[in-house]
Amino acid sequence: MEIEVVRIGQRLVRDDRVTTHVALVSRAFGAKKIFMTEINPEIKDTLRKINETWGGNFSVEFIEKWKPIIKKKKEENFKIIHLSMYGEKINDAQEKIRKEKKLLVVVGAEKVPREIYEMADYNIGIGSQPHSEISALAILLDRIQEGQQFEKEFPDAKRKIIPTKVGKNVQVKETRD
């Protein structure tokens, strides 16, 4: 399954950390790319450093407007999943979504334009209580990949964690050239 994410909104500086966490979750949970509007350029640098240390080639792309990317991805046969606390229950929708091949997940900040609900192939609620776009995205990606995203290797990592019951075990591979 090919997964990309688009983060819409974030008008406030105080949302910087939240947007960074949305990008980190996208990467750690197997998405290839995140598209972002109106963000602090430092995020791109943060993610580049994370790739360098922990592997993989997750990418961040800045966009001016959200609508053209959604239209383009629809033309490329991506299904659009919009996360919203008002949406259909993930417990009911997950089996159908697992069968999709290409997904673009839309993660909004507090208010999103009404139009997104109409453009989406799925409007999905991760529970119907307020929590966080970070947790909503994580649960969606975990459910549709059935936890298999955590078994994947991130290639060319300098540091790799060996899971352990107590303490920390990190394999360090520094290459010299």
Q: Does 167 bind its own copies (CB under 8 A)?
A: yes
What is the total count of residues that contact its own copies (CB under 8 A)? 57
Q: Does 123 bind its own copies (CB under 8 A)?
A: yes
List 67, 74, 158, 160, residue binding its own copies (CB under 8 A): 160
> Which residue spans within the chain are E strands per DSSP?
2-8, 33-36, 59-62, 79-89, 102-108, 122-125, 159-161, 170-172
List strands edge to edge, sheet with 2-8: 59-62, 33-36, 2-8, 102-108, 79-89, 122-125
147 vs 107: CA distance, rounded Å: 20
Cα–Cα distances in angstroms (integers) from residue 133 to residues 20, 71, 87, 106, 109, in the given order = 11, 22, 13, 10, 7
Span near its own copies by CB under 8 A; candidates 32-40, 60-68, 71-79, 113-121: 113-121
Q: Does 99 bind its own copies (CB under 8 A)?
A: no
Does the annotation place 110 within a ligand binding site? yes
Residues with Cβ within 8 Å of residue 51, at least 6 apart in sequence? 27, 57, 58
List 15, 69, 109, 144, residue binding its own copies (CB under 8 A): 15
Q: Does 135 bind its own copies (CB under 8 A)?
A: yes
List 86, 96, 98, 156, residue binding its own copies (CB under 8 A): 86
Minimum Å gap between C-beta 81 and its own copies is 12
Q: Are 25 and 3 in contact (CB under 8 A)?
A: no
- Which residues form the interface with its own copies (CB under 8 A)? 14-18, 21, 24-25, 27-29, 50, 54, 84-92, 114, 117-118, 122-123, 125-132, 134-135, 137-139, 142-143, 147, 149-151, 154, 160-161, 163-170
